[in-house]
Amino acid sequence: MSNKITIGQVGSVENRILLIRGGKVIIDADLAEFYRVSTKRLREQIRRNKNRFPDDFMFKLTRAEMKEVADACSHLTNIRYSRTTPYALTEHGAIMAATVLNSEQAVEMSIFIVRAFVKLRGAIASHKELAGKIRALERRATLHDKHIVSLVKAIKQLIGPSAVPKKRQIGFNISEKK
């Protein structure tokens, strides 16, 4: 099997990017798999180079987040029973991890990971734009609905049967009273 990454594998990277604490991250176990190193080795290098990983590059998951990730991702069910909580790395953290690992595979794979993050960012931006357009259409449709209802009422008033006044009888009528 070759070490080269195929285009099909880029999609698998996108599927491993999660939204945690309002940001897009990748779990250290997934990153280690992509970089073809053990999770233990990746965590070891992160600990040795802690100054290269500020809080906006990486953070540790809480136990509750770890359980939620394990429930949501079938490939990460084994982290539920881990004694150590996993790291969640942002796009910049994933690149930094590739530099501290200093392997050819890690450098090649970091390019695909960055592309996956960028593609996801573009998809989210297009969804926001689309959501804005849908809201504008809903507002216009609501306004149009109001206009249509008022037009229908006006047409009904014009077409509808108006009360025909009673015809007065000609002549003299005596109504008998009891």
Q: Where are the domains of the chain?
A: 7-123
Predicted structure pTM score = 0.56
The DSSP bridge partners found for residue 24 are 19
What span, in angstroms and rounded, lies between the C-alpha atoms of 15 and 109? 15
Residue 19 backbone phi and psi in degrees, to 5? -105, 105
Phi and psi at residue 47, to the nearest 5°: -65, -40
With CA atoms as reference, report the closest residue to 91 among 58, 62, 60, 124: 58
Task: Give every CB contact of residue 41 below 8 A, 6+ residues apart in sequence.
Answer: 32, 101
Q: What is the pLDDT of residues 38-57, one digit of tens each?
A: 889 888 988 888 888 888 88
Q: What is the tens place of the pLDDT at every residue in 48-92?
A: 888 888 888 899 888 888 888 888 877 777 777 778 888 899 888
**139, two tokens:** 């507002």
